[in-house]
Amino acid sequence: MELQDLIYTKEDHIATVTLNRPERLNAFSGAMTAGLIRAMQDAKDDNDIRIIVITGAGRGFCSGLDLAAQAEAQSSGAGRAGGGGGGYRVGGTRLSSLMLSIDKPIIASVNGPAVGWGFELALLCDIRIASSNAVMGDMHVKRGLVPDNGGHWLLPRLIGWAKASEIMFLGERMDAAEAERIGLVNKAVPHEELESVTKDWATRMANNAPLAVQTAKRQMRLGLSSDYESNLEFSIFAQGRLFQTEDFREGVRSFTEKREPTFQGK
């Protein structure tokens, strides 16, 4: 799949999406937005893909909205790219809603600055692994704006109200070590180890039973907005379905035969 401002690859059940505007620290363009929506939808629909990784080319993960392009669009009378006041909201809410609907685990491999919408993009992922070169933060209040792609909803759920308030209201950046300390990233690693650690985590997840992994993610996501009894009812229903899968039978066989399982996602 050829996509402007993105590199999209698939290998060993892992889809990797690389934001590819290194000269702009991967600031979002309209083309990048459209491409990311296409890539995420493709990874969601491809039954061979079990894990999705998002990272950035060059020195940055994503520096947010391309403000220079936004200013140019406004001066030309185009307003927000895409028409209807929605395009430079990174496809409106289409991308964030799509990402939150995907049952496959999504890993943010944060190789450099992740600020503004780049910060929100990292929050939309399930797991964040950060390079020692990464800096993260939401700086909307320093631009007279607020997050509009889910950051305000996700951040308190990830690190609690008080820390989320500190990040949102101060509008300051933090390094990878601080992000790990407060639980915002799962692991901070030396920059030269980021790719290998991300690959290791993605591969180990991909080697697990994909239907079970995807159901576990859905289970947790539903738990954010349902009561315990409702979530437990879903869990019992889901477990009954999983008992009928070939992956469950393979899991039992591999255990009794004392070998690593080979799951097919069936």
How many Cα neighbours within 13 Å face the side chain of 105? 24
pLDDT band per the 50, 70, 90 thresholds, residue 135 = very high
What pLDDT is recorded for position 131? 98
What pLDDT is recorded for position 143? 86
The model's pTM is: 0.91
What's the token pair of residue 14? 């892992």
- Is pLDDT above 50 for 90? no
- Is pLDDT above 70 for 72? no
Q: What is the chain's mean pLDDT, rounded?
A: 91
β-strand partners of 130: 110, 188
What pLDDT is recorded for position 86? 42
The count of other CB atoms within 10 Å of the CB of residue 73 is 18
CATH number for the domain running over 210-256: 1.10.12.10
The pLDDT > 90 percentage for the chain reads: 81
160-178 pLDDT, tens per residue? 999 999 999 999 999 999 9
Burial (0-12, 13-18, 19+ Cβ within 10 Å), 224: exposed
Torsion angle (degrees, nearest 10) of CA 76, 78, 118, 143? 70
pLDDT band per the 50, 70, 90 thresholds, residue 2 = confident
Domain ranges across the chain? 6-206, 210-256
Which of helix, strand or coil describes residue 128? strand
pLDDT mean over 32-49: 96
What pLDDT is recorded for position 66? 81
Lowest mean pLDDT among 71-75, 195-199, 206-210, 260-264: 71-75
- Is pLDDT above 70 for 258? yes
CA distances from 231 to 126, 158, 241 (A): 19, 20, 15
CB 140 within 8 A of CB 147: yes
Burial (0-12, 13-18, 19+ Cβ within 10 Å), 167: buried
What pLDDT is recorded for position 221? 93
Amino acid present at 202: A
pLDDT band per the 50, 70, 90 thresholds, residue 65 = confident
- Is pLDDT above 60 for 128? yes
What pLDDT is recorded for position 69? 62
- Is pLDDT above 50 for 83? no
Give, as one character, the DSSP assignment of residue 28.
Answer: B
- Is pLDDT above 70 for 260? yes
What pLDDT is recorded for position 79? 47
Burial (0-12, 13-18, 19+ Cβ within 10 Å), 257: exposed
CB 234 within 8 A of CB 219: yes
How many Cα neighbours within 13 Å face the side chain of 47? 5
CATH number for the domain running over 6-206: 3.90.226.10
191-223 pLDDT, tens per residue? 999 999 999 999 999 999 999 999 999 999 999
What's the token pair of residue 171? 């509008």
11-36 pLDDT, tens per residue? 999 999 999 999 999 999 889 999 99
